[in-house]
Amino acid sequence: MADIAAEVGIKAILEQLGIEELNNGASTGGKWFKTRGERIDSVSPVDGKLIASVQAATEADYEAVILKAQEAFKEWRMIPAPKRGEIIRQLAERIRFYKEPLGKLVSYEMGKSLQEGLGEVQEMIDICDFAVGLSRQLYGLTMHSERPGHRMYEQYHPLGIVGIISAFNFPVAVWNWNTALAWVCGDVCVWKPSEKTPITAIACQQITKEVFDANGVPEGVSNLVIGGPEIGKLMAEDTRVPLVSATGSTRMGKSVGAAVGARLGRSLLELGGNNAIIITPSADLKMVVPGAVFGAVGTAGQRCTSTRRLIIHEEIYDKVKEALVSAYKQIKIGDPLDQSNHVGPLIDKAAVDMYLNALKEAVAEGGNILVEGGLLTGAGYESGCYVKPAIVEAENHFKIVQHETFAPILYIMKYSGGVENAIKLQNGVPQGLSSAIMTNSLKESEAFLSQAGSDCGIANVNIGTSGAEIGGAFGGEKETGGGRESGSDAWKVYMRRQTNTINYSDSLPLAQGIKFEL
């Protein structure tokens, strides 16, 4: 097998990003802590080789980081928002400088294609650019008071410490979705990345440190704490962390949400998706096939917006099925850093086992394997993490179809009658993240987008379920958690709202005309 790490210069990339062979697992931006937790090895799913090792943070390390973050917040919040925005603008420029090496590192550590790795870094740049403009648009409201000589307005203030728990599938972008907005709003951040992708997290911390040091940003504004679920638990239960933004499984989100809710804190949850594309008789197959295939197999099916289900009208079912089977024959699986390949590996062997078990369950429930899946072995697949994208004819009520499997398995099913029947099927799962309809009928598209249409946080017409732009708020409903990140007015999540009334008269009238005479 070729030495992929050597071919793409991973060692040189790590050096360029300022990452040594062994790293400690906690940082407040100004320094790395001498942590004493368990050693975490970052092993690439691409070739099964060790990238680097990290010493995990302990509870004592977490405590030290929180104290430093509290101290930094007092200074950071007083810097004018446009000045904070200027620092984020410089961060965007620095990320642009590192786009290629960081994109390669994302691809090698996580396993997504190089184009997707570069695209994820571009998302970081885009959200920083968005945040720069936002720094001059943190608007409140003014309103008229019922009392003479009074005025009222609303304003927004930073919350304090924002805790970020991110998943392996977007190891850098989701962190920056949160930090770019939180920093501009005047918050400080404490990040617990996935223990499956710690090296990209360290790279982000190093890049941020370059910019923050050059601008005299207080130590403790950008914080990193690497560790397992115990760190996330500490964060969720910590009353000093008013907002916890958590991305991951529904199971994880329920645990975080319960812990944060028990102390009346705020949680921003981005959890599981079970996303469907409805394909109506008027759909253009030239758009259907690439949209469905990329949605199903992009990032090896490890996106929260990955397409899990196709709901196809019976009139065109056989035609669509034939086109999909033909398209799947053209998919190339292998080293994701080789741009001729479409699909890379799953994150680890545990994910492979989950994928294989899901296929077994689908068959046991009566599903028909249309495109056979399975584990790939032999030259180029020595890591044991490469699988074949599969298509299964199934029913929406199957237990396995109701569940989100983070792997390239696409379930296809028929619907008959009007589009309302397809919408009912699409909505008939516990999750509510992303949805799409392929149609050239104005009536069908409007029905899909209406109050009685898709119950998801994202609803698209004539594009797939995967691939959101940062300009719109990202998130979903039901078991997806209800959170919103990225664009639109998602910035308000990171701030506290305050109503102000000012009396500039010489009297003290009470609201609602109440009289209180002394």
Residue 270 known to be catalytic:
yes
Do 51 and 42 meet the contact criterion of CB atoms below 8 Å apart?
A: yes
Pick the closest to residue 283 from 320, 309, 308, 318 (CA basis).
Answer: 320
Query: Looking at 195, 270, 444, 485, which residue is catalytic?
Result: 270
Residue that the structure tokens 């289900």 belong to: 309
Q: What's the CA gap between 1 and 217, in Å, rounded? A: 46
How many alpha carbons fall within 13 Å on the CB side of residue 446? 3
128, 185, 204, 304: the catalytic one is 304
The helix/strand/coil state of 124 is helix
Q: Is 385 an annotated catalytic residue?
A: no
Cα 461 to Cα 301, 342, 430, 446, 470, distances in angstroms: 21, 24, 22, 9, 18
Backbone angles phi, psi at 395, to 5 degrees: -110, 145
Q: 3-state class of 450 per DSSP?
A: coil
Burial tier of 329 (Cβ tally within 10 Å: 0-12, 13-18, 19+): exposed
Q: List the structure tokens of 226.
A: 């690497």
3-state secondary structure of 332: coil
Phi first, then psi: what are they for 107, rounded to 5°?
Answer: -60, -40
Contact 390, 363 (CB under 8 A): no
Residues carrying an active site annotation = 270, 304
